[in-house]
Amino acid sequence: MPELPEVEIARRTLERWLGGSEVTGAQAERTRVFRAGGRADFDRLRGRLARADRHGKVLLVSLDSGQGFLSHLGMTGKWVRRPAGETVPYSRARLTLSDGTVVHYRDPRLFGRIEPHPADTLRALPELRALGPDPLLTPLSGRQLRDAFGATRVPIKVALLDQRRLAGLGNIHAAEALWRARLHPGRPARSLELPEWNRLATAIRRGLAFALAAEDGEEIAYVEEPGTENPFKIYAREGEPCPRCGTPIRLLRQAGRRTDLCPRCQPVRRASR
Ligand SMILES: [Zn+2]
């Protein structure tokens, strides 16, 4: 499932592919990727890239024609580039480029979404305005995290997934950050103290930087896909030794989702001082 690093990789590759040439044609399939409407507007996209932005897990593409679109990768979506004429399974939308290639939006499970909008309205969309700060775009501090989460008694792992408070983390990076910060995922958010928020802020930054550095291909790969290596420290490593202390990693179920944790590094109670 895409989280901030995968969407940032998608942004960088779209910037590279569209930046070098011109969109000379576009085609949208009749699928629920366009459930918000705008399929005809997508087909009319033309021009050169003005900018490609990202906030949390949302991509925003603006063309110099004044047209633009929002792209959310859902669970299995990705943008891929192929020579013209090549068939791409699950291609739901296509941008034909002047360099003889076609950029496809590929999405087997159709949870992703594309919404064409005028470029100058993209950042003001209600969906964008509802998002919390993006930890890659704004320097993330412990105080900022405490302000965003510190009033809720929701378990910190569950709270970290709330895109209105902080945009970009999903199940994987929330679990990774809590392991790096040595915090139990079940701690009520408001029980954390400032030094713990500081550790968590550092952990989130490091985890995202690590994931971005580990992505080497120009097309994103999801860890759930067969044949993809698991680059994470503890995510989906139940029973394997904790990379820090060797204790077997345990699996916790929270709000119907998995959280891997090290029972030794991430004790339920805060260590007494
Ligand atoms: Zn450990």
Which residues have a beta carbon within 5 Å of ligand 1, which is an ion?
A: 242, 244-245, 247, 262, 264-265
Minimal CA–CA distance to 51: which of 2, 79, 18, 77?
Answer: 18
Q: How far is the CA of 33 from the centre of ligand 1 (A)?
A: 41
Mean pLDDT calculated for residue range 29-49: 97
**Phi and psi (nearest 5°) for 141?**
-115, 165
Residues 58, 81: Cα–Cα separation, whole Å: 20
Residues 131, 257: Cα–Cα separation, whole Å: 22
Domains of the chain, earliest start first: 4-129 (3.20.190.10), 142-261 (1.10.8.50)
Q: What pLDDT is attached to residue 226?
A: 79
Residue 214: both structure tokens together: 């580990």
Q: How far is the CA of 234 from the centre of ligand 1 (A)?
A: 10
Mean pLDDT calculated for residue range 184-193: 96
Residues 218, 8: Cα–Cα separation, whole Å: 11
Active-site amino acid positions: 2-3, 57, 257
Q: How far is the CA of 27 from the centre of ligand 1 (A)?
A: 50
Q: Is the model's pLDDT at 16 over the cut of 60?
A: yes
Mean pLDDT calculated for residue range 255-264: 93
Q: How far is the CA of 184 from the centre of ligand 1 (A)?
A: 11
Q: Is the model's pLDDT at 272 over the cut of 80?
A: no
Q: What pLDDT is attached to residue 216?
A: 67
**SS3 per residue for the chain:** CCCHHHHHHHHHHHHHHHHCCEEEEEEECCCHHHCCCCHHHHHCCCEEEEEEEEECCEEEEEECCCEEEEEECCCCCEEEEEECCCCCCCEEEEEEECCCEEEEEECCCCCCEEEEEEHHHHHHCHHHHCCCCCCCCCCCCHHHHHHHHCCCCCEHHHHHCCCCCCCCCCHHHHHHHHHHCCCCCCCEHHHCCHHHHHHHHHHHHHHHHHHHHHCCCCCCCCCCCCCCCCCCCCCCCCCCECCCCCCECEEEEECCEEEEECCCCCCCCCCCC
Summary mean pLDDT of the chain: 94
Q: What pLDDT is attached to residue 231?
A: 87
The pLDDT tens digits for 41-62 are 999 999 999 999 999 999 999 9
Position 224 confidence tier, pLDDT thresholds 50, 70, 90: confident
The pLDDT tens digits for 90-143 are 999 999 999 999 999 999 999 999 999 999 999 999 999 999 999 999 989 999
Q: What percent of the chain has pLDDT over 70?
A: 98
Lowest-pLDDT choice from 8-22, 94-108, 221-235: 221-235
Mean pLDDT calculated for residue range 195-218: 91
Mean pLDDT calculated for residue range 181-185: 98
Mean pLDDT calculated for residue range 13-40: 96
Q: What pLDDT is attached to residue 271?
A: 53
Residues 79, 197: Cα–Cα separation, whole Å: 35
